[in-house]
Amino acid sequence: MSAPRLRRVRSQMEMENLIDDYVTQGYEVIQQGNTTTLVRKKTWGSVAGHVFCALITVWFLFGLGNVGYALVAHYTAEQVMIKIETAPPQ
């Protein structure tokens, strides 16, 4: 799994608005703290991917290939870390 993308915001209100935008776009909140939130795209794979996987593996894996494809698609989905940017001390 790759490192999550990082989105920086300036305030708590901006972070809440961005979280709402991501949830509307089909993301789910994985972790939420005071200054950071991690969201992940909700996916279990595409229909075309499942059909292709089924055509190749159904004869000898009896559908377990599709289960594996769904798990890999879900756990390697895009992740975004939203972080409140603090002003550097002067």
Does the residue 74 lie in any domain?
yes
Assigned domain for 50 exists:
yes
Residue 15 within any structural domain of the chain:
yes
Question: Does residue 89 belong to any structural domain of this protein?
Answer: no
Domain count within the chain: 1
Residue 25 lies in a domain: yes
What domain range includes position 10? 5-84
Q: Is residue 26 part of a domain?
A: yes
How far is 42 from 76, CA to CA, in rounded Å?
Answer: 10
Q: What is the pLDDT of residue 77?
A: 93
pLDDT digits (tens, 9 = 90+) for 1-27: 578 899 999 999 999 999 999 999 999
Query: pTM higher than 0.75 for the full model?
Result: yes
